[in-house]
DNA sequence: ATAATAGTGTCTCTTAGACAGTATGAT
DNA sequence: ATCATACTGTCTAAGAGACACTATTAT
């Protein structure tokens, strides 16, 4: 067996250029609650929102862009994303973060050879409230996604945002990331609302059937379980309705969604 | 690292270092068929294999590694991956390729600040046969995955390979990427074999039930459809058995696997 | 009473899962 | 006859989907 040694390069010859930086950019999604003025207690209206910052550079005039920043040699990409998150929102870890994809094509950044490692982060609204309070002079703002897409975003951030949204929608149906937008204990309506807010096409005709599908049966484990008190009685909440609503939580069991 | 000072680039502020390169590394999976010496026609034994190349550098002695190479400013990351694929296997496009994740942690590459954009590629065995024939003096070899994991792989390639395998297993159950390892028309046994080869834990007790689950019913679309001739009669194959086996193909319909 | 939400029960028809059996054709 | 694979049919019980109805309590 002969080897083609010439092909493997040990050290990069000096004549080669290398990237001018490797930033991470973050698509931070949250769900905003807007209380509705109804006659009796009701569920707030919810909308999916994304965090954008206003760029005030010469390069990309007054455009909105995904928050992000250059990674350092001494940190991992995850650490960089967390650092940016902290700088921008004052959120310190303990939030869902995942790497989406790395973007590069010639000319994507007028400043040079700068690929971008995109991240997706899902954050509960409450965490951001605290964060924003702490730094209201920020150049960051939450946009409902339709509004965000109506903007002329900097760089290829529209493409990144599109991919990120698709990723979140897929995972919303195939995993239990709905957790990221819910308290530990929640009502069925809240869960339904979260799913429908993220995936508008998701419609459930019958709440009763939906409930049964998620609870354990004889030959199936359950995704949800009812919250019970010391006596084993179900716990109810009247936060969003006069009629007490059963509280549920996610079980340890996460089914592997499969098509076969 | 001092040698790299020379390549300070125009745009970024001089005080900042930037990466020394951004290679793509490819986890190329294929399924090897090993005919079994049986008394009558039979299905070949199949095993999942990954392509590795032998590194002969001072840095990482005689180790095996994922094939890959540095990306250029003038190309996208996908193009770089395709280019590497072509150089290593002579395969020219038309194969499944997808970006997995970008890896970096301080020290992952002793040569410097070199993150790696990992790709996953699924290639049908036949394509590789042609490719290997064309370049037998290659330093590349296919390893059954268990053997690959038994090796002391260079860099963090074991971690990458682990993630890649997990990704392929997930998608094997949640999408129809089994396509990548199958001809257009195939028997149920072949499909089952592919799934079981990639996901060993996937077991089907009853072939008849498996078949019914994949075909269209009154209130469900089908993942598969039987191949029929001009008269509407099913087409059979005796390639792997004396008993004629119905041929199937994937339909356009790909269900969205969901847990709710 | 009504508003907005939550909950229960029941009926039917699909279909998953299990089981049992036959078929093919080369050796 | 046997081997390795493929196909067919039936039975049962589970559960999805549809429908109809009641409950809660502030206003």
The full 3-state SS of chain A, as one line of letters, equals CCCCHHHCCCCCCCCCCCCCCCEEEEEEEEEEEECCCCCCCCCCEEEEEEEEEECCCCCCCCCEECCEEECCCCCCHHHHHHHHHHHHHCCCCCCEEEEEEEECCCCCCCCCCCCEEEEEEECCHHHHHHHHHHCCCCCEEEEEHHHHHHCCCCCCHHHHHHHHHHHHHHHHHHCCHHHHHCCCCECHHHHHHHHHHHCCCCCCCCHHHHHHHHCCECCECCCEEECECCCCCECEECCCCCCCEECEEECCCCCCCCCC
pLDDT of residue A92: 87
pLDDT of residue A249: 97
Q: The pTM is what?
A: 0.91
Domain match, B208 and B134 both: no
Domain presence at residue B55: yes
pLDDT of residue B130: 76
Coil/strand/helix, residue B143: strand
Q: Which residues of A touch B260 (CB under 8 A)?
A: 173, 195, 202, 210, 213-214, 223
Average pLDDT over residues B206-221: 94
Least confident segment among A88-97, A211-220, B12-21, B129-138? B129-138
- Judged by a CB distance cut-off of 8 A, whether residue A203 touches chain B is no
Distance from residue A121's CA to nucleotide D24's C1', rounded to whole Å = 38
Q: Which residues of A touch B99 (CB under 8 A)?
A: 101-102
pLDDT at residue A108 above 50? yes
pLDDT at residue A233 above 50? yes
Q: What is the pLDDT of residues A181-200, one digit of tens each?
A: 999 999 999 999 999 999 99
Banded pLDDT at A132 (limits 50, 70, 90): low
State how far the Cα of B206 lies from the Cα of B224, in Å rounded to an integer: 17
Q: Which domain range does residue A189 map to?
A: 179-250
pLDDT of residue A16: 76
pLDDT of residue A137: 59
Q: What is the pLDDT of residues A25-60, one digit of tens each?
A: 999 999 999 999 999 999 999 999 999 999 876 665
pLDDT of residue A62: 81
Total structural domains in chain A? Answer: 2
CB neighbour list of residue A124: distance below 8 Å, 6 or more residues apart: A30, A31, A95, A180, A181, A182, A183
* Nearest by Cα to B250 from B182, B166, B198, B150: B182
Residue A9, number of CB atoms within 10 A of its CB = 14
Domain presence at residue B13: no
Please state, rounded to an integer, the average pLDDT across all residues of chain B. 90
pLDDT at residue A154 above 70? yes
A-chain residue closest to B4, CA distance: A14
Average pLDDT over residues A113-142: 85
Domain match, A207 and A157 both: no
pLDDT of residue B70: 97
Q: CB of residue B255 closer than 7 A to nucleic acid strand C?
A: no
* Nearest by Cα to A143 from A46, A52, A31: A52
Which uninterrupted H or E stretch holds B148? helix B145-150
Domain final residue pick, A162, A192, A226:
A162
Average pLDDT over residues B201-227: 94
pLDDT at residue B190 above 80? yes
Task: Please report how the helices B207-214 and B188-198 are oriented relative to each other, as an axis angle in degrees rounded to 10.
Answer: 100
Least confident segment among A68-72, A74-78, A107-111, B92-96? B92-96
CATH number where A216 lies: 1.10.10
Domain match, A27 and A156 both: yes
Q: What is the pLDDT of residues B166-175, one digit of tens each?
A: 999 999 999 9
Report CB contact under 8 Å: B139, A4. Answer: yes
pLDDT of residue A56: 77
Question: What is the CB-side half-sphere exposure of residue B184 using CA atoms within 13 A?
Answer: 2
Domain presence at residue A5: no
Q: CB of residue B208 closer than 7 A to nucleic acid strand C?
A: yes
Domain match, B103 and B223 both: no
Banded pLDDT at B136 (limits 50, 70, 90): low
Domain final residue pick, B133, B162, B191:
B162
pLDDT at residue B46 above 80? yes
Domain match, B158 and B183 both: no
pLDDT of residue B8: 39
pLDDT at residue B135 above 70? no
Average pLDDT over residues A176-183: 96
Q: Which nucleotides of C are covered by protein (CB under 7 A)?
A: 2-10, 14-20, 23-27
pLDDT at residue B9 above 80? no
Least confident segment among A82-86, A169-173, B91-95? B91-95
Banded pLDDT at B205 (limits 50, 70, 90): confident
Coil/strand/helix, residue B137: coil
- Judged by a CB distance cut-off of 8 A, whether residue A115 touches chain B is yes
- CA B76 centroid distance within chain: 20
Domain match, A155 and A204 both: no
Domain presence at residue B117: yes
What are the φ and ψ backbone dihedral angles of B226, each rounded to 5 degrees? -70, 145
pLDDT of residue B4: 38
Q: Which residues of A touch B10 (CB under 8 A)?
A: 20, 112
Q: CB of residue A40 closer than 7 A to nucleic acid strand C?
A: yes
Domain match, B52 and B146 both: yes
Domain match, B142 and B33 both: yes
CATH number where B97 lies: 3.90.79.10
Domain presence at residue B218: yes
Domain match, A84 and A193 both: no
pLDDT at residue A240 above 70? yes
Report CB contact under 8 Å: A256, B139. Answer: no
Please state, rounded to an integer, the average pLDDT across all residues of chain A. 90
């Amino acid at each position: 067996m002969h080897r083609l040694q010439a092909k493997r390069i040990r050290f990069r010859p000096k004549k080669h250029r290398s990237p001018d930086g490797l930033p991470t950019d973050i698509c931070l999604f949250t769900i905003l609650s807007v209380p509705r003025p109804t006659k009796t207690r009701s569920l707030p209206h919810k909308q999916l929102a994304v965090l954008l910052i206003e760029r005030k550079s010469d390069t990309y005039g007054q455009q909105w862009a995904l928050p992000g920043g250059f990674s350092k040699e001494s940190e991992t990409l995850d650490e960089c994303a967390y650092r940016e998150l902290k700088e921008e929102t004052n959120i310190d870890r303990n939030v869902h973060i995942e790497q989406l994809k790395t973007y590069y094509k010639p000319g994507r950044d007028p400043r040079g050879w700068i690929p971008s490692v995109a991240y997706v982060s899902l954050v509960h609204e409450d965490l951001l409230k605290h964060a924003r309070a702490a730094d209201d002079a920020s150049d960051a703002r939450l946009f409902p996604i339709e509004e965000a897409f109506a903007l002329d975003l900097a760089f290829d951030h529209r493409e990144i945002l599109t991919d990120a949204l698709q990723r979140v929608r897929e995972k919303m149906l195939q995993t239990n990331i709905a957790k990221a937008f819910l308290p530990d204990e929640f009502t069925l309506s809240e869960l339904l609302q979260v799913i429908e807010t993220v995936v508008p096409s998701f419609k459930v005709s019958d709440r009763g059937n939906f409930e049964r599908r998620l609870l354990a049966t004889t030959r199936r484990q359950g995704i949800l379980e009812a919250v019970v008190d010391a006596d084993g009685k179900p716990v109810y909440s009247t936060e969003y309705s006069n009629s007490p609503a059963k509280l549920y939580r996610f079980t340890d069991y996460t089914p592997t969604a499969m098509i076969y």
